[in-house]
Homo-oligomer: A and B are copies of this chain.
Amino acid sequence: MELFIDRSIPAPTVQACAEEVLAVVPSIMSTFRTEMRAHRPTELSLPQFRVLIFLNRHVGASVSAVAEHVGLALSSTSQLLDGLMKRGYVTRDTAAADRRRATLSLTTLGQATLESARVHARARVEEHLSLLSEDERRAVTASMLALARAFDPSTACG
């Protein structure tokens, strides 16, 4: 029986694997960006989208927490949030316990926008993935978990 993951041939070297990741991941991102941008009713940039996802799951998060999660400098994150507040997607309050700390939350509009963007993004990705076989989907899912662990150990299980 020939397995999709065939252990009888040598595993790809780390180098070869890196080569593939380096070639393919940016090209997937290109597609994402273009498709997100084309979603007129919502039209969130990818970083904005990621911030909304994070805030939806971490109500009351600080600016620093967002920055760490999205992998941006604090100032960049602050500016990203400016944009999201200006559009009415996010509110910011001052934490009572520590008045330096901001408390960020999604507005109802922000939640609805996130949901719309998410449905759209997922649909686009699903369109692409529907070209894959079951075994390929198994491999992709397993890979994503492994890569999450390899590239971002902190959030691999959250």
Contacts and interface: CB of A to CB of B under 8 A. Distances in A.
A130 interface: yes
A74 interface: no
Contacts of A27: 71, 148, 151-152, 155
How many copies of this chain?
2
A151 B128 contact: yes
A142 B28 CA distance: 15
A96 interface: no
A129 B141 contact: no
Contacts of A15: 122, 126
Contact of A140 (B20, B23, B126): B20
A26 interface: yes
Interface in A127-141: 128-132, 134-141
A142 B17 CA distance: 9
A144 B27 CA distance: 11
